[in-house]
């Protein structure tokens, strides 16, 4: 029976896996002997145009196509990339970037300062929820010559230098997008970046193939011939593909967390939890604060009392997570545990709060009904949604579950078309970069699940974020962020659940797979396969 199940599981992905067994260029003769690294794209990204979409699956694949001015090490210190050097003025207002001179877009056109200015002041300012706020702090962004860009800030902003990694500020080709409708530009289907890999083929629902960029600006790199991403719909088949050697790498979330330790114990397999220091993802219940009963803090507190976070850590994430209680992850700067208002697991407290609101149980035991939009990132996340649904029903909150795929979830959340949802927020090394965007009223814009989609409009929250962003000394910023953590957790604007860890499993002997603070989302130009 076990053998039959294995055959069936492999058959579901046979077409994709067979296609991915070839070099990215399409024939064995075209290979450079660096080989092809085989991975899994789960869930399938809605697009590879990283400027328009920054969800995790898009970052993972498109992070090899596009590049930013800088990269960041595990210590969160900036490293040169498309910018080979930079200077910051003593008053913290002027940032001058010196660009590399031998960089070309995938269509052969040169990368220049014009592209940086266009990306920062036009494209990303219009469509990228994080970059909009980041570059909005600049009074002026100008090209001094073809390879020098000067950014002058309106006021000092200490973490400004942290906002130039690929997903936060992907460089966009001005000659392709200038004067066009960014959302409908045909180039979105065949992305043009400066990265070490180019899109070779994408068969929706089956695979994505990237090929080596032979004109990459780093001489002799990448070593690999290509990167192949298979799209496999269920976790059991993904685990089996790794076990049978059809794929070389598993990201956190590719397989069930209870399978990670089993697979890691296999011969020839290495596990690492390194990388993702910049992301430090936090999972939460998202409330749509625009409508009742979500607009009442007592309702939100009741939801929090109804959820056992340790149960989620132990039984759904199998230890690859820790309970969360506030907006700033414990792994990032300015986290203050003492400032947080916490909500212990207590169904009686939850019901008392709902009674106090006047949400009494009807004859059927139901107090109210809400639309619930789970996060469709895979089986673990689906089970989390089911657990949340069951817990809410215990206190009389009936949920109408809205089943959708990854793209549908993003659209509904971005359009504010939900009551409760689940979301995963990346922190990006500083609260003013990765956290602020989901809370401040200036980011109340439709269209992106990464913006302020909850409808939060609290002048005190806005003030604290604003003052913390421009404070020039760490002590002042720390005090402001402590007040912020207290305010947000006290009002239960979000239902914090867990801080998620992303373990990576890979074939032993693969070199330089995880080298930076964004883990497998990095460019992978230095990856080398073991010689066969």
What token pair was written down for 465?
């974020």
Question: Based on C-alpha coordinates, what's the Rg of the chain?
Answer: 23
CB within 8 A of 124, min separation 6: which ones? 51, 131, 132, 135, 169, 170, 172
For 193-229, write each residue's pLDDT tens digit. 999 999 999 999 999 999 999 999 999 999 999 999 9
What whole-number distance in Å separates Cα of residue 329 and Cα of residue 318? 19
What token pair was written down for 414?
């971005």
Question: For 485-500, what is the mean pLDDT?
Answer: 98
Question: Is residue 1 predicted with pLDDT exceeding 90?
Answer: no
Per-residue confidence (pLDDT) for residue 450, from 0 to 100: 83
Is the distance from CB of 422 to CB of 384 less than 8 angstroms?
yes
Question: Is residue 119 predicted with pLDDT exceeding 60?
Answer: yes
Question: Is residue 25 predicted with pLDDT exceeding 70?
Answer: no
Which run of H or E residues covers position 70?
strand 70-72
Phi/psi of residue 464, nearest 5 degrees: -65, -45
Q: Where are the alpha helices (DSSP H) in 397-521?
A: 406-414, 459-470, 474-491
Cα 285 to chain centroid distance, Å, stands at 16
> Mind spelling out the 3-state secondary structure of 328-361?
CCCCCCCCCHHHCCCCCCCHHHHHHHHHHHCCCC
Question: Is residue 17 predicted with pLDDT exceeding 80?
Answer: no
Please indicate whether residue 361 or residue 253 has the higher confidence score (pLDDT).
361
What is the pLDDT confidence band of residue 32, given thresholds at 50, 70 and 90? low
What whole-number distance in Å separates Cα of residue 511 and Cα of residue 523? 14
Per-residue confidence (pLDDT) for residue 49, from 0 to 100: 98
**Burial label, 183 (beta-carbon count in 10 A; 0-12, 13-18, 19+):** exposed
What token pair was written down for 65?
């196509």
- Chain-wide mean pLDDT for the chain? 92
Question: Is residue 306 predicted with pLDDT exceeding 90?
Answer: yes
Per-residue confidence (pLDDT) for residue 419, from 0 to 100: 98
What whole-number distance in Å separates Cα of residue 344 and Cα of residue 385? 20
What token pair was written down for 277?
């220091």
Instruction: For the beta carbon of residue 136, count every other beta carbon within 10 angstroms.
Output: 12
Question: Is residue 303 predicted with pLDDT exceeding 60?
Answer: yes
What whole-number distance in Å separates Cα of residue 303 and Cα of residue 216? 51
CB within 8 A of 462, min separation 6: which ones? 440, 441, 442
Cα 506 to chain centroid distance, Å, stands at 21
What token pair was written down for 254?
């590719």
Per-residue confidence (pLDDT) for residue 472, from 0 to 100: 84
For 315-357, write each residue's pLDDT tens digit. 999 999 999 999 999 988 899 999 999 999 999 999 999 999 9
Per-residue confidence (pLDDT) for residue 130, from 0 to 100: 87
What is the pLDDT confidence band of residue 532, given thresholds at 50, 70 and 90? low
CB within 8 A of 261, min separation 6: which ones? 318
What token pair was written down for 425?
């927020």
Per-residue confidence (pLDDT) for residue 129, from 0 to 100: 83
What is the pLDDT confidence band of residue 24, given thresholds at 50, 70 and 90? low
Question: For 478-496, what is the mean pLDDT?
Answer: 98
Please indicate whether residue 10 or residue 363 has the higher confidence score (pLDDT).
363
Q: Cα dist. 416→188, 327, 428, 459 in Å? A: 25, 20, 24, 21
What whole-number distance in Å separates Cα of residue 393 and Cα of residue 381? 19
Question: Is residue 16 predicted with pLDDT exceeding 60?
Answer: no
**Burial label, 7 (beta-carbon count in 10 A; 0-12, 13-18, 19+):** exposed
What is the pLDDT confidence band of residue 447, given thresholds at 50, 70 and 90? confident
What token pair was written down for 440?
């401040």
Question: For 378-389, what is the mean pLDDT?
Answer: 93
What whole-number distance in Å separates Cα of residue 402 and Cα of residue 412? 10
Question: Is residue 177 predicted with pLDDT exceeding 90?
Answer: yes
Is the distance from CB of 159 to CB of 29 less than 8 angstroms?
no
Question: Is residue 433 predicted with pLDDT exceeding 70?
Answer: yes
* Domains of the chain, each with CATH number or no CATH: 34-65+195-278+506-531 (3.40.190.10), 67-175 (3.90.76.10), 282-500 (3.10.105.10)
What is the pLDDT confidence band of residue 23, given thresholds at 50, 70 and 90? very low
Question: For 47-54, what is the mean pLDDT?
Answer: 95
Question: For 44-58, what is the mean pLDDT?
Answer: 94
For 263-285, write each residue's pLDDT tens digit. 999 999 999 999 999 999 999 99
Lowest mean pLDDT among 243-252, 372-381, 391-400: 372-381
Question: Is residue 407 predicted with pLDDT exceeding 90?
Answer: no
For 76-91, write each residue's pLDDT tens digit. 999 999 999 999 999 9
Complete edge-to-edge strand list for the sheet that includes strand 94-99 = 83-88, 94-99, 148-153, 138-145
| Percentage of the residues of the chain whose pLDDT score is greater than 70 | 94
pTM, to two decimals? 0.83
- List, in sequence order, every residue forming a beta bridge with 97; answer none if it has no partner: 86, 149
């Amino acid at each position: 029976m076990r053998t039959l199940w294995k055959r069936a599981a492999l058959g579901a992905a046979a077409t994709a896996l067979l296609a991915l067994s070839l070099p990215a260029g399409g024939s064995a003769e075209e290979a450079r002997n660096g080989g092809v690294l085989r991975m899994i794209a789960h869930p399938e990204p809605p697009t590879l145009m990283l400027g328009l979409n920054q969800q995790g699956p898009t970052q993972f694949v498109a992070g090899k196509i596009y590049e930013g001015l800088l990269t960041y090490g595990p210590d969160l210190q900036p490293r040169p990339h498309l910018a080979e050097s930079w200077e910051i003025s003593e008053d913290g207002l002027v940032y001058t970037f010196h660009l590399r001179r031998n960089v070309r877009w995938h269509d052969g056109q040169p990368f220049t300062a014009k592209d940086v200015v266009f990306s920062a002041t036009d494209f990303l300012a219009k469509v990228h929820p994080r970059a909009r706020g980041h570059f909005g702090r600049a009074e002026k962004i100008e090209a001094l010559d073809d390879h020098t860009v000067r950014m002058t800030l309106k006021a000092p902003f200490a973490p400004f230098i942290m906002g130039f990694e690929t997903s936060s500020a992907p460089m966009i080709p001005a000659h392709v997008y200038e004067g066009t409708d960014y959302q409908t530009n045909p180039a979105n289907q065949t992305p043009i970046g400066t990265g070490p890999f180019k899109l070779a083929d994408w068969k929706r629902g089956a695979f994505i193939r990237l090929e080596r960029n032979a004109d990459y600006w780093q001489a002799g790199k990448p070593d690999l011939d290509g990167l192949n991403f298979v799209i496999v719909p269920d976790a059991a088949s993904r685990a089996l593909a790794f076990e049978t050697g059809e794929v070389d790498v598993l990201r956190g979330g590719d397989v069930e967390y209870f399978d990670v330790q089993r697979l890691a114990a296999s011969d020839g397999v290495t596990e690492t939890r390194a990388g993702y220091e910049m992301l430090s993802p936090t999972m939460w219940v998202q409330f749509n604060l625009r409508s009742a009963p979500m607009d009442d803090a007592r309702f939100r507190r009741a939801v929090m009392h109804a959820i056992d976070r340790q149960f989620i850590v132990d039984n759904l994430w199998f230890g690859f997570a820790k309970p969360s209680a506030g907006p700033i992850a414990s792994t990032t700067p300015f986290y203050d545990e003492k400032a947080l208002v916490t909500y212990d697991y207590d169904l009686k407290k939850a019901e008392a709060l709902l009674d106090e609101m006047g949400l009494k149980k009807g004859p059927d035991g139901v107090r109210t009904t809400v639309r619930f939009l789970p996060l469709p990132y895979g089986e673990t996340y689906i089970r989390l949604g089911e657990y949340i649904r069951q817990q809410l029903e215990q206190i009389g909150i009936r949920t109408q579950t809205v089943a959708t795929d990854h793209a549908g979830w993003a659209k509904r959340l971005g359009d504010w078309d939900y009551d409760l949802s689940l979301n995963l927020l990346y922190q990006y090394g500083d609260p003013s970069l990765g956290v602020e965007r989901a809370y401040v009223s200036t980011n109340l814009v439709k269209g992106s699940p990464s913006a302020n989609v909850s409808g939060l409009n609290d002048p005190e929250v806005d003030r604290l974020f604003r003052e913390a962003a421009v404070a020039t000394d760490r002590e002042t910023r720390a005090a402001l962020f402590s007040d912020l953590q207290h305010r947000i957790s006290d009002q239960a604007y979000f239902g914090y659940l867990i801080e998620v860890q992303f373990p990576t499993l890979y074939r032993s002997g693969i070199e330089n797979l995880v080298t930076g603070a964004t883990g497998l989302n990095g460019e992978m130009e230095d990856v080398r396969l073991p010689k066969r």
